[in-house]
Structure 1
């Protein structure tokens, strides 16, 4: 009896299976015996879109980390967002940016903020030479409210400088030199009263430099090696900078007379490799504290003014590669601290005995001029062609004026056998 029941169950299962199989293969819907209607075949559904991979899980949220100060907890997400933007890190710098101890991240430095000496905050960042690559710094440094110093020389950051950096009330040093930044001059710095150090050299900034920058209370202004194209601002001498570099751009026009107004501040001025024209102003002799002035490879013309003999602290003076002519003033060669006077590739025609001695000592370079009986000069034909057209400067009487007491002659130049040196500040 049991076998009979088992056999019938097997027969029923087999029958049920046979009935269902056509339903799957013929695309029909099977119904019970009371509803024998058969619906038409189903329309195939469109294929599902491909699966989109989920983004990586975010780092530990600040609430799960133990920060030394709430100010550090606030900047943590900003740092993590920036870390995710970095597309190249050959030195593995960002591998240290892990955990709550932000003050020990490589390149990050903490200090007490001015508004709360008992607090700890992210005060400065130094990425110099890290070779990091990111498409922008926007959303990073402009979101760090207590940042006082940001140095990022020699990386591969690009984009423009966010105008939001004007909100950084403590920032006093900004160095983004030797990167790939572009766009116009970052005018946001014009409203940053705390800024004293601005270095944007070796980038691809274009357009003009707002003249207001020369009224800022900056100690350092490095804007060389960009693509600025404009006439030198008339208020150039309003600068309070100690170090001013405009070299390797396309500045045009004459060197403004206002340069003499910067006498109480300027130590080093670099104007080489531009398109500066006109005669050297008499007022340049007022830079009594300057130790370096370089205007080589421009289009300056006229004689050297005797007022340069007042630059008694001058160590390096470069006017090579211009269109200067006349006699090299002996009073300039008598400068007691002079180590390098570059006047090559001009059209000077005369030089006195003191200057000749400095040529022998390697202090003065007068190659490729038009001085008779001096080695390595231009050809007669080249000099004649230059002087065919009459040349003059406005206010010619000022070129013989000496607005200072002549400093005592230095015998050090006459006995020195040392070659001239270069500081290579660029």
Structure 2
């Protein structure tokens, strides 16, 4: 009986195995789902169709997996729906509206901001203040004033002296020429490049200082149309060529063009200028000093030193009765000292050193009571009188390296002899003895010693300051 029961059990298991192998995988799936869902295997469920089992597994498995995994958000547009572009970022808020004190300041604002962008090096941090609309109150280096004939504030003065601005494209173009209300433009000791733009439209400009920069090219002829210009300082640049003759027709008080590469003869109309101060030093001016120089009746200081001037000094220099400084040192000038120089009663600094002057030093020149320095060294003078010897003792007159036999520190006799073997003449030599002020060159100054004791201290010459690349004192 037991064997029959065992046989029946074996046949039942065999039938179950066949059923499993012919595709009834739904039981295995079901058990798997029960394990996944945590319901265990507590019995065999009723048989179901293959499609039903598959659907049941798919649904149950999907829900189970979804419950244990978070999908990333789908940021792409469904292919079934219409195409949509990504949302645009929000617009930046508009900059605050600037309010200017006058329409003239509003007009110049973009000019100032454009210049600011050109400055790559600002060692004194000047342009950090160039923000906003308060140009007159906050922008360092600028000064404002009421524009003529209006009630409007305008930029009247640019004071950049010593700021040392620099930049690879730092030019005056589209800056200086756009400041049509400016009266003073001082930019000494910066690093401006290129040439000087046209300034003919700057009808209020009367002071222009571009000294000690890196400006190049020919002399800026555009300044000829700046009809109100009274102060022109272009020293310590590399301007080349010649100075237009028309420059000397300008109504200038100051003309500083020293330390450039200017090459030309001094023009005959030099005397047409009205300047108080002239510096031509350290260029390559040639030829003689024109006789017209005597017409500059208000001239106080003039520097011709270190050029290539030749010829004799015109006696008309003696007409410069306001002059305190006259310097022609380091040239190739020759001839005797004109007696007319004794008329220069206000002369303080008188330099003829390192030329080829010769003859007797006029006593009338040594009588000028205001003299603080009379330098005649490195020439070929041969005689000196008692009044001049008195100035030597007082260290006012310097006659070293001449041909004065009885004084120390003179040239050798051979050097002097070789010089005097040449033909030494000046045109119109009789003019060397003219004295336009009517003084008697032979009179005796009985009060000379008293005048020497009462001499005032020499003032500091403005023109000698111009030989320093920095700004002129008090400017």
Pairwise TM-score range, normalised by the shorter structure: 0.7 to 0.9
Task: Identify the match of residue 147 of structure 1 among 160, 179, 182.
Answer: 182
- Shift of the 79–155 alpha-carbon distance from structure 1 to 2, 3 Å rule, reads same
Task: Identify the match of residue 162 of structure 1 among 197, 210, 213.
Answer: 197
Residues 126-205 of structure 1: matches in 2 within 5 Å?
126-134=159-167, 135-163=170-198, 165-205=199-239
Query: In structure 1, what is the equivalent of residue 55 of structure 2?
Result: 5
* Cα separation, 2, equivalents of 1:3 and 1:410: 140
Residues 228-247 of structure 1: matches in 2 within 5 Å?
228-247=262-281
Which blocks of at least 5 consecutive residues in structure 2 are unaligned?
A: 1-50, 63-93, 468-475
Query: In structure 2, what is the equivalent of residue 206 of structure 1?
Result: 240
User: Aligned with 1:213: secondary structure?
Assistant: helix
Task: Out of 323-332 and 91-100, give the one that drifted further.
Answer: 91-100
Residues 20-419 of structure 1: matches in 2 within 5 Å?
64-103=97-136, 104-116=138-150, 118-134=151-167, 135-163=170-198, 165-262=199-296, 264-406=297-439, 410-411=448-449, 414=452
- Shift of the 261–6 alpha-carbon distance from structure 1 to 2, 3 Å rule, reads farther
- Shift of the 5–272 alpha-carbon distance from structure 1 to 2, 3 Å rule, reads same
* Cα separation, 2, equivalents of 1:6 and 1:289: 121
* Cα separation, 2, equivalents of 1:260 and 1:284: 5
- Shift of the 6–218 alpha-carbon distance from structure 1 to 2, 3 Å rule, reads farther
1:232–1:255 Cα contact (<8 Å) kept: yes
* Cα separation, 1, equivalents of 2:180 and 2:432: 53
- Shift of the 326–99 alpha-carbon distance from structure 1 to 2, 3 Å rule, reads same
1:317–1:340 Cα contact (<8 Å) kept: yes
* Cα separation, 2, equivalents of 1:6 and 1:241: 111
User: How far apart are residue 421 of structure 1 and its match?
Assistant: 8.3
User: How far apart are residue 115 of structure 1 and its match?
Assistant: 2.7
* Cα separation, 1, equivalents of 2:61 and 2:307: 101
In the superposition, the TM-score normalised over structure 2's length comes to 0.75
Per-residue CA deviation, residues 153-183 of structure 1 (Å, 9 max, x unaligned), is 11111110012x1111100000000111000
- Shift of the 290–420 alpha-carbon distance from structure 1 to 2, 3 Å rule, reads closer
* Bigger Rg, structure 1 or 2: 2
- Shift of the 384–9 alpha-carbon distance from structure 1 to 2, 3 Å rule, reads farther
User: How far apart are residue 406 of structure 1 and its match?
Assistant: 2.5
1:241–1:266 Cα contact (<8 Å) kept: yes
User: How far apart are residue 405 of structure 1 and its match?
Assistant: 3.1
How many residue pairs were aligned? Answer: 375
- Shift of the 397–10 alpha-carbon distance from structure 1 to 2, 3 Å rule, reads farther
- Shift of the 10–227 alpha-carbon distance from structure 1 to 2, 3 Å rule, reads farther
Per-residue CA deviation, residues 368-408 of structure 1 (Å, 9 max, x unaligned), is 11101112111111111111212111111111221213396
User: How far apart are residue 411 of structure 1 and its match?
Assistant: 2.7
* Cα separation, 1, equivalents of 2:268 and 2:418: 33
* Cα separation, 2, equivalents of 1:189 and 1:115: 25
2:218–2:239 Cα contact (<8 Å) kept: yes
Per-residue CA deviation, residues 14-60 of structure 1 (Å, 9 max, x unaligned), is xxxxxxxxxxxxxxxxxxxxxxxxxxxxxxxxxxxxxxxxxxxxxx9
Task: Out of 88-97 and 409-418, give the one that drifted further.
Answer: 409-418
Which blocks of at least 5 consecutive residues in structure 1 are unaligned?
A: 13-59
User: How far apart are residue 422 of structure 1 and its match?
Assistant: 6.3
Per-residue CA deviation, residues 83-138 of structure 1 (Å, 9 max, x unaligned), is 0001211111111111111112110000001131x110111100000111142111
- Shift of the 315–287 alpha-carbon distance from structure 1 to 2, 3 Å rule, reads same
2:326–2:349 Cα contact (<8 Å) kept: yes
User: How far apart are residue 410 of structure 1 and its match?
Assistant: 4.0
Per-residue CA deviation, residues 266-315 of structure 1 (Å, 9 max, x unaligned), is 11111100000000111111111111111111110000010000111111
* Cα separation, 2, equivalents of 1:76 and 1:168: 17
